[in-house]
Structure 1
Amino acid sequence: MECVFAEAEARRRQLASQFAAHVTDGFLQFIRAPDDLYPDLNFTDRRRTFNDPAHRVTWRTKQVMDFAFLFSYCQPLSEFYMVLEDDIITSHYYLTAIRDFIHMHRGHDWVGLKFTQFMIIGNLVRSATLPRLVQLMLLFREEQPVDFIMSHFLSMMVDAPGPPTRRVPSLFNHIGRRSSLANKTQKLVDRSFRPVPRRFHQRNPPADVVTNMKPHAGHLAAYAYSAAPGLFWGALLADRAECSDWTLLDEFGPSGAVDAQALERLMPFGVQCLRVEVSPNHTGLVAITEIALIEEPP
């Protein structure tokens, strides 16, 4: 145990030196749980769930206590809390995607937002709910693994009806293979972590992105307009939006792309609305991977 603490202290010193400015302003913090936090973890002669051996129940119970301590410490630090680990990779513009997804749910009484398909990694909750989650963890620490407890908590709290709370594609993927449990190999991989290549790497001007097409599998229209990974995937509906004063700029070519330029000549008074129209004769799904609006300098 002393060896583990010595290794952790050496790592803390290294990070504190490497990121001294962030440590000074409080952006980066190091914490260690007190030894008396953990109850008796000897499960040799006690009830064990999932037919797990005693050493595995000990490991997962300690993990639940670790998370409970971490959640309790972080609760007053911010409005939201997201569960991440140190052996993941991220997509480009993942912070933009998270902010946009939270903004999309403004006015929606959601409990948790998911940014991966994992049970715990990539879950975002309001920090105000963490005390109740910690209570559930302490109550079932010996019976359930931590990811099961968090999944149960989110399902029991029940989201109000509203937009999908799972963002696709995922913003994070797990790449670590070494588990903290001895002789355990971790093979978790998020198959939905497939960033769609972007042709333009720039932020579009603010706009409301709406559609009368039904999104498929959670692929919302706003994802094609965002700089973050994502695409719109939808099916035609029977009713169609009625608009007026539209000017055809261009049509999609065989490659599936359209590039409308020199709009100041076609639209000398500027563009207020932009519509992508799909033929009513189309019977399948439609995927739009990117919408880029590049403002001309004045």
Structure 2
Amino acid sequence: RPPLPPVALPLPSGSPTLLGGFPDTDPGYAGINHYLPHLRGNPSLLSPGLALSKGKTNVSIVIGIPSIRRPTDTYLYETIRSLLDGMDEAERADTLIFVCLTEPWNRTYVGDVADQLRTKFSRELAQGLLEMVVPKAGFYPNLDNLPPTLGDNPIRVKWRTKQNLDYAYLMMHASTRGKYYLQLEDDVQATKGFITSIKKAIAFNRGNWFILEFSTLGFIGRLFHTNQVPNMAEFLLMFHTQKPCDWLMEDYLWVQMCGHGEKWAKCLYKIKGVSRPIRPSLFQHLGLRSSLQGKVNKLKDKHFKITSDHKNFSISNPTVANIYTSLTSYANDIYDAYTGEKIFWATIPKDGDTIEFMYNPPITLQKLVITTGDGKHPSDILTDAVVEVLPSNPLSRPQPQLKNAGEAPHIHSMHQKAWLERANTLTELRSAIQSADQCEAAFVQVGKFDATGRVDVALKSDSELNPVWSIRIRVIATSKAWLIIKQIAITAQGAL
């Protein structure tokens, strides 16, 4: 076979000199040239050695697929066909499938794949819907003399190090071509209508998010804003020899979201606020033979749904600034119950105990449902408790009488602790309320738990109580049993 001629990969107007936001104009730039010092003075090594491309840009979703030669099975063509079959013509027009074939040392294999793509997907290549790039071999450092980490053998260290470099290269090149970047693998099946489903999820997930997760498996189905991809790519480059890519993604979120010494449950909740799982999953893992020789990968996504009605996305509670509780946890954390992932199991609730959900900015509460107890522990319910809200304009109405007149010392102490937590979280609140006693007087009861351990609250959007800083569960009599909070469902207008 004659050598395959490289095809220039056009850049969108205004793109940086090197794709993905790694400029080569500053010799002191401490980014890619620091992590891959062999590239210093050789910026051409970042351009593809081969590219089959029409230069399609300004799409809504760029699908990035890293691909490598496997010892036995090949799934790339099946993956591409599944993606194409899952899109209608309108979706195809607004999408780019970007394959990065990371085998620059194997010209025969690269040529075979290029020929197969031209044969099987000639129409899609001509339309610019599908394209392929191959990095230059010089992009990669020496992968045969890597420091051992995590107790892995040299073969595995080399495999996961190269995978990090593959992902970073793909991200740098693909992320300049559209508004959102979707990371896949070369061995997945897509559900019908997945592009429309993704766009609906984007529209639903307002507020600041970093990743929408359309699969439960590794890096598959992770959607990013393209303007955030360069930082993720740089993080992969920074620690490319240290950990696998999915672990590094978790570390990146930890660095971004968590304060030093912060409570683990609160930190995890903050991470989940910007890394949001979307169900049902839109992508299923197909492959059995891993690109790591000898490794068999039988992982399957149990949340995958072959067909999609574009409606079955899990609806999360509004983003909470903080959750305070005086209850003693036996199993799991109150954040787990708020996100719907697990129950919250606490020891006996005492008179005066509270669970408080704080929102900054305030939310317009429309509906609240809390269910306690479960089938195995039907007596672990809450009956002697009320639901209260703290309006954002508590001083605009006549002040009620203080609720804490003559209260027990331990209850007064709990009020003081809750007030400190509230004041630190809701900083604007202190301009209206200056003390724990004044704040207690401002809470308004909106519901009471019934004999089954359930409470339902409904408020009109234009209620004088809206918007609210806090929603609080307050125990009014010591319970005889422990407490399981099974479900927390809060609906707020325009909130996420």
Aligned CA distance change for structure 1 residues 237 and 113 (closer, same or farther; 3 Å): farther
Aligned to 1:192: 303
Contact 1:115 1:170 in 2 (8 A): yes
TM-score for both structures, normalised by structure 2: 0.39
Q: Secondary structure at the match of 1:176?
A: coil
Cα gap change, 1:11/1:178 in structure 2, threshold over 3 Å: closer, same or farther?
Answer: same
Q: Deviations over 1:203-254 (max 9, x none)?
A: 89xxxx999xx99459xxxxxxxxxxxxxxx9675213679xxxxxxxxxxx
Which structure 2 residues correspond to residues 102-113 of structure 1 after superposition, within 5 A? Answer: 102-106=202-206, 108-113=207-212
Q: SS at 2:228's partner residue? A: helix
Alignment partners' CA distance in 1, 2:130 and 2:227:
21
What is the letter of the counterpart of residue 238 of structure 2?
A: L
The match for 1:97 among 197, 208, 215 is 197
Residues 1:40 and 2:142 aligned together: yes
Kindly state the Cα deviation for residue 33 of structure 1 after the two structures are TM-superposed: 0.8
User: Using the alignment, how far apart are the partners of 2:118 and 2:225 within structure 1?
Assistant: 28
Structure 1 equivalent of residue 457 of structure 2: 239
Deviations 1:85-139 (A, max 9, x none): 2211222332222111100123x01111111112311110111111111211111
TM value normalised by structure 1:
0.63
Q: For residues 12 and 137 of structure 1, what CA distance do their matches in structure 2 show?
A: 28
Change (3 A) 1:50 1:96: same
1:2-41 pair list within 5 angstroms: 4-41=106-143
Aligned mates of 1:24, 1:172 — CA distance in 2: 26
Give 5+ residue unaligned stretches, structure 2.
1-102, 258-269, 318-337, 343-369, 372-453, 462-485, 488-496
CA contact (8 A) 1:88 1:172 kept: yes
Match of 1:142 among 214, 225, 241: 241
SS in 1 for 2:212: strand
Q: Residues 91 and 242 from structure 1, CA distance in 2 versus in 1: closer, same or farther, beyond 3 angstroms?
A: same
Question: How far apart are residue 68 of structure 1 and its match?
Answer: 0.9
Q: For 1:148 and 1:191, locate their aligned partners in 2 and report how far apart those are by CA, in whole Å.
A: 21
> Which of 126, 133, 136 is the matching residue for 2:225?
126
Alignment of 1:215-294 (within 5 A): 216-217=340-341, 237-240=455-458
2:173 is matched with: 73
Percent of aligned pairs sharing the same letter: 27
More strand by share: 2
SS in 2 for 1:157: helix
Q: 1:273 — aligned with what?
A: none
Q: Compared with structure 1, are the counterparts of its residues 164 and 83 closer, same or farther at alpha carbon in structure 2 (3 Å cutoff)?
A: closer
Superposed displacement of residue 5, structure 1? 2.8
- C-alpha separation in 1, matches of 2:305 and 2:116: 33
What's the offset of the Cα at 1:53? 0.7
Aligned-residue RMSD, C-alpha:
3.6
More divergent stretch after superposition (157-166 vs 7-16): 157-166
Q: Give the letter for the 2:166 counterpart.
A: D
Aligned partners of 2:104 and 2:135 also within 8 Å? no
User: Is 2:283 aligned against 1:172?
Assistant: yes
Conserved 8 A contact 1:114-1:122: yes
1:172 positional shift = 1.2
Compared CA separation, residues 81 and 164, structure 1 to 2 (3 A): closer
Alpha-carbon distance in 2 for matches of 1:40, 1:77: 30
CA shift at 1:175, angstroms? 1.9
Structure 1 residue 160 displacement after superposition = 8.5
What is the CA distance between 1:7 and its match in structure 2? 2.2
CA distance in 2, matches of 1:126, 1:192: 24
- Closer, same or farther: CA 73–98 of 1 in aligned 2, 3 Å: same
Kindly provide the amino acid, as one letter, of the partner of residue 170 in structure 1.
S
Q: Which stretch shifts more, 23-32 or 12-21?
A: 12-21
| Distance in 1, Cα, partners of 2:127 & 2:154 | 43
For residue 457 of structure 2, give the secondary structure of its aligned residue in structure 1.
coil
- Residue 124 of structure 1 aligns to a residue whose secondary structure is strand
The superposition leaves residues 177-203 of structure 1 with CA deviations (integer Å, 9 ceiling, x where unpaired) of 1111111111222122256x88xx7x8
Cα offset for 1:156?
3.1
2:282/2:304 contact within 8 Å kept: yes
Q: Is the 8 A contact 2:213 2:275 kept in 1?
A: no
Pair 1:136–1:190, CA change in 2 (3 A): same
2:158 equivalent among 58, 65, 72: 58
Distance across 2 between alignment mates of 1:185 and 1:130: 30
**In the TM superposition, what is the alpha-carbon distance from 1:2 to its structure 2 partner?**
8.7
Aligned residues: 221
